[in-house]
Amino acid sequence: MAGAINFVDANGLRFAYLEEGTGPLVLLLHGFPDTAHTWDELRPAIAAKGYRAVSPFMRGYSPSGIPARDTDQETLARDALALIEALGASQAIVIGHDFGAGAAYGAAALGPDLVKKLLVLAIPHPAALKPTPAKLWGVRHFAVYKLPGAAKRFARNDFAALPAICRRWSPTWNPDPAEFDAVRATFSDPASLDAAFGYYRKLSPIPSASLRARITVPTVVFAGLDDPVAEPSDYRGAARMFENEYIVEEVPGGHFMHREHPEMFAERLLTHL
């Protein structure tokens, strides 16, 4: 039911999720700084095409449960696979953005029998990325967010850092301030905010096992033409990590392409379902 928050147990944690539609499962995984509501425009469009569209609040993002330890890549990948099974499906189309993209890549590598198709936004496959000074500067928050007190600094002045970081990653986006209400509500729980920063504390420059394996399921990656960090060539260069169909879709927008141009993005994505 649209708007209602549902709950399911998966991979040792209680997950909250939003759901619309009936039919084959489409699992939509969000990133940082975001929530399951990032898919509020796309979820009903997918449901209207005859699918069951489910967007969970990722591990540690309230009202999902708070994990006992910081979250690593392998846990995120296994969360996605466990959610597919907990939701009663034998397979799912998995869509991921930002940290949700890493979870989606990992899930497709670890459980190709559970992932029918993979659609990824804004993150080229991490194992294929070649660091350059410009890219390292673009992801400098990786280091900053690992520092002690990073979560509390992010929360200052009613989360003033929230629209600021989104402007940096999507420089052509001018969102309504209400776009960030859902994130502020989730991060108003200090434990949830700290858990979200735990993802960064566990980030490693060395790809984990699930990101070193080649992916055998059909994959579509969406590259934002206004993204200041990841360029379309980065996605094309990642083709070596995929052994099945691999399509690069270049779309308007930056890191948050699906929210910058929601109708256009939905139209492009739906052609791949």
Report whether pLDDT(80) > 50. yes
- Can you tell me the distance from the alpha carbon of 18 to that of 24, in angstroms, rounded to the nearest whole number? 16
What is the set of domains in the chain, with CATH numbers?
6-271 (3.40.50.1820)
pLDDT, one tens digit per residue, over 113-145 is 999 999 999 999 999 988 888 888 788 888 999
The set of residues, in sequence order, having a beta carbon less than 8 Å from that of 190 and lying 6+ positions away, is 151, 155
pLDDT tens digits for range 99-111? 999 999 999 999 9
3-state helix, strand, coil in the chain (%, to 5): 45, 20, 40
pLDDT the model gives residue 111: 98
In this model, does residue 2 exceed pLDDT 60?
no
pLDDT, tens only, 213-271: 999 999 999 999 999 999 999 999 999 999 999 999 999 999 999 999 999 999 999 99
Residue 76 parent element (H or E): helix 73-86
Q: State the burial class of residue 109 (Cβ atoms within 10 Å of its Cβ: 0-12, 13-18, 19+).
A: buried
**pLDDT 10s digits, 9-32:** 999 999 999 999 999 999 999 999
The SS3 call for residue 192 is helix
Statement: residue 98 has pLDDT above 60: yes
Query: Can you tell me the distance from the alpha carbon of 262 to that of 138, in angstroms, rounded to the nearest whole number?
Result: 25
In this prediction, residue 214 carries a pLDDT of: 96
Q: How far is CA 149 from CA 144, 153, 201, 263, in A?
A: 10, 6, 12, 38
Mean predicted confidence (pLDDT) in 83-88:
98
Instruction: Check residue 74 and give its pLDDT.
Output: 97
What is the pTM (predicted TM-score) of this model?
0.96
Element (H, E) at 185: helix 181-187
pLDDT single digits (tens) 183-218: 999 999 999 999 999 999 999 888 899 999 999 999
How far apart are the two ends of the chain, measured CA to CA in Å?
A: 21
